[in-house]
Amino acid sequence: MQHDENRLVFQDGQFTDDVWVDLPDDGPIPVEGPAIVTLVRLAGDDGEYFLHGGCRIGVRLRPEDRLGDLVPWMARLELIALNFEKFTDGRPYSAARLLRERMGYRGRLRATGEVLVDQYAAMRRCGFDSFVVAKGRALRSWQAARIEMSVRYQAPQESVLERRHARRAVLEVA
């Protein structure tokens, strides 16, 4: 299977080529992977293989997939890809937080679909740590954008509220 020439992956602060391969529902299973399958395939006949086999696996979810269905595979999954059908579709943000904060997922959390630099900060704060960026205009914009916010009012990640009151607590102790 070929890597997609038209996209790059941004993670850990840099652009890299993607090592993961998107497996269609009817394709052969690679022995070693790393392969990304759908939830349908994960939960289907090949499920046992994915549960115990040696291949590195990830899953790609659609917004309507139920996160609870992932539970049996949580320990095996190295990557979960949430797809932004449109960058204006906000559902993956909630799904990401649920995976990280409620279900304890620690592997790669990848944003796919329409992934734009202006949503990068929000995605990262919700728990994404891997971003598939289309080459062309989106990539040029990604490289040109300069601004990131250092101040945030909400959890997750340390918020202004916490910083304000942490400082106060220190002052009160002093």
Minimum distance from CB of 80 to other proteins (Å)? 16
DSSP state of 30: P
Check residue 164 for interaction with other proteins (CB under 8 A). yes
Site string for other proteins, 8-47 (x = CB under 8 A): ----------------------------------------
Question: Is residue 134 near other proteins by the rule CB under 8 A?
Answer: no
Give the integer Cα–Cα distance in Å for 82 and 129. Answer: 11
Measure CA 58 to chain center: 11
Contact status: 6 vs other proteins (CB under 8 A):
no
Q: How far is the CB of 3 from other proteins (least distance, A)?
A: 25
Residue 11 CB, nearest approach to other proteins (Å): 18
CA separation for the pair 58, 89 (Å, rounded): 22
Those residues whose C-beta lies under 8 Å from the C-beta of residue 119, and which sit 6 or more positions away, are: 84, 87
One of 7, 18, 87, 100 touching other proteins (CB under 8 A) = 87
Contact pick of 147, 170, 171, 174 for other proteins (by CB under 8 A): 147
Q: E-strand spans in 48-107?
A: 57-61, 77-84
Q: Any contact of residue 90 with other proteins (CB under 8 A)?
A: yes
Q: What is the C-alpha separation between 33 and 38, in angstroms, rounded?
A: 14
Cα–Cα separations (whole angstroms), residue 66 to 21, 57, 73: 23, 19, 13
- Which DSSP state fits 75? T
Nearest CB to other proteins, comparing residues 112 and 119: 119
Residues that bind other proteins (CB under 8 A): 87-91, 93-95, 97, 102, 116, 118-119, 121-123, 125-126, 137, 140-141, 144-155, 160-165, 168
